[in-house]
Amino acid sequence: DTEVTQTPKHLVMGMTNKKSLKCEQHMGHRAMYWYKQKAKKPPELMFVYSYEKLSINESVPSRFSPECPNSSLLNLHLHALQPEDSALYLCASSFGLGLAGTDTQYFGPGTRLTVL
């Protein structure tokens, strides 16, 4: 089973709302990622968690707040977003952060976020 699940599939929120995106995997992966993808652009890395600790933060604005409650779950808390934050938010996971083929990243289906 190489499945990463994400909820919700679609989310519409106002600029003053607080919402959360959720990601889950049960493959025993110890690294989890958040990406942002705008239309016709490649995914852009936002955050990386390794063994439930934040490993990489790609200078993401503080209105995005990641959380890794346990090795299977990853959340992205959203607050005071801007319309330009509208995008597809992708979660991914991998066994580790190495260079082995087993450390390749598997993506979830994404959450389509629209900020009004």
Partner 1 sequence: QKEVEQNSGPLSVPEGAIASLNCTYSDRGSQSFFWYRQYSGKSPELIMFIYSNGDKEDGRFTAQLNKASQYVSLLIRDSQPSDSATYLCALPGEGGSQGNLIFGKGTKLSVKP
96-28-48-93 Cα dihedral, nearest 10 degrees: 90
Tell whether residue 43 is a contact of partner 1 (CB under 8 A). yes
Closer residue to partner 1 (CB): 40 or 83: 40
Min CB(70)–partner 1 separation in Å: 19
92 vs 34, 35, 65, 75, 82, CA distance in Å?
Answer: 7, 8, 17, 12, 24
Min CB(26)–partner 1 separation in Å: 18
Tokens, residue 6: 């994400």
CA distance 86 to 72: 26
Binding partner 1 (rule: CB under 8 A), the pick from 58, 61, 69, 77 is 58
Q: Which residues bind partner 1 (CB under 8 A)?
A: 31, 33, 41-43, 45, 48, 50, 55-56, 58, 88, 90, 94, 97-99, 101, 103-110
